[in-house]
Amino acid sequence: MKKKKVAIIGAGISGLTAALYLKRANIPFEVFEKTAEVGGRMKSELVEGLIVDHGFQIFLTSYPEALSVVNYADLEFTPLTKGFTLCKNKKKYFLEYPNGRYRNVFNMLRYPFMDIKSLWNMAKIVVYLRSTSLKKIFSQKDIPTHKFLKNRGLSDDFISHTLQPFLKGIFLENNLETSSKVFQYVLKMMLSGSIVVPTNGMGAIPKQLYKNIGTNYFHFFKSLEKIENENLFFEDGYKTSADFIIDTRPKTFQKKANQNSLFVFITPNKVLKACELAVFENNPLGISNLVQFSNLYVNSRDVEYIGISVNNKVSESNKLDSKKILEYITNYFDTTDWKWIKTHHIPYGLNNQEQVNYSYKKEIMAQKEKTYLAGDWNLYGSTNAAIHSGKCAAEAIIRRVNTNI
Ligand X SMILES: Cc1cc2nc3c(=O)[nH]c(=O)nc-3n(C[C@H](O)[C@H](O)[C@H](O)COP(=O)(O)OP(=O)(O)OC[C@H]3O[C@@H](n4cnc5c(N)ncnc54)[C@H](O)[C@@H]3O)c2cc1C
Least distance (Å) between residue 80 CB and ligand X: 10
Nearer to ligand X, 13 or 306 (CB): 13
Nearer to ligand X, 190 or 326 (CB): 190
13 binds ligand X (CB under 6 A): yes
64 vs 8: CA distance, rounded Å: 23
Site for ligand X in 26-45 (CB under 6 A): 32-35, 40-42
| Cα 316 to Cα 59, 193, 311, distances in angstroms | 29, 36, 10
Choice from 250, 272, 396, 397 touching ligand X (CB under 6 A): 250
55 binds ligand X (CB under 6 A): yes
| Contact status, residue 299 vs residue 266, Cβ threshold 8 Å | no
275 vs 263: CA distance, rounded Å: 19
| Cα 121 to Cα 98, 100, 106, distances in angstroms | 14, 16, 15
String of DSSP letters for 207-251:
HHHHHHH-GGGEE-S--EEEEETTEEEETTS-EEE-SEEEE----
Nearer to ligand X, 38 or 398 (CB): 38
173 binds ligand X (CB under 6 A): no
Choice from 61, 192, 223, 282 touching ligand X (CB under 6 A): 223
Least distance (Å) between residue 14 CB and ligand X: 3
| Contact status, residue 35 vs residue 220, Cβ threshold 8 Å | yes
Choice from 6, 7, 8, 12 touching ligand X (CB under 6 A): 12
Q: What three-state secondary structure class fits 30?
A: strand
Choice from 6, 8, 10, 306 touching ligand X (CB under 6 A): 10
288-327 footprint of ligand X as x/- string (CB under 6 A): ----------------------------------------
146 binds ligand X (CB under 6 A): no
| Cα 51 to Cα 99, 151, 298, 357, 366, distances in angstroms | 30, 42, 6, 33, 38
Nearer to ligand X, 50 or 373 (CB): 373
In the sheet that holds 218-219, the strands lie side by side as: 218-219, 29-32, 6-9, 244-247, 371-373
String of b and e for 241-271 (b: at least 16 CB within 10 Å)? Answer: ebbbbbbbbbeeeebebbbbbbbbbbbeeeb
398 binds ligand X (CB under 6 A): no
386 binds ligand X (CB under 6 A): yes
| Contact status, residue 16 vs residue 9, Cβ threshold 8 Å | no
Choice from 52, 187, 382, 392 touching ligand X (CB under 6 A): 382
Nearer to ligand X, 267 or 288 (CB): 288
Q: How many residues does the chain have?
A: 405
58-87 footprint of ligand X as x/- string (CB under 6 A): x-----------------------------
Nearer to ligand X, 104 or 223 (CB): 223
Least distance (Å) between residue 89 CB and ligand X: 27
343 vs 226: CA distance, rounded Å: 32
376 binds ligand X (CB under 6 A): yes
Q: What three-state secondary structure class fits 175?
A: coil
| Contact status, residue 360 vs residue 389, Cβ threshold 8 Å | yes
Residues in binding contact with ligand X, number by CB under 6 A = 32
213 binds ligand X (CB under 6 A): no
Site residues, ligand X (CB under 6 A): 9-15, 32-35, 40-42, 55, 57-58, 223-224, 248-250, 260, 346, 349-350, 375-376, 381-383, 386
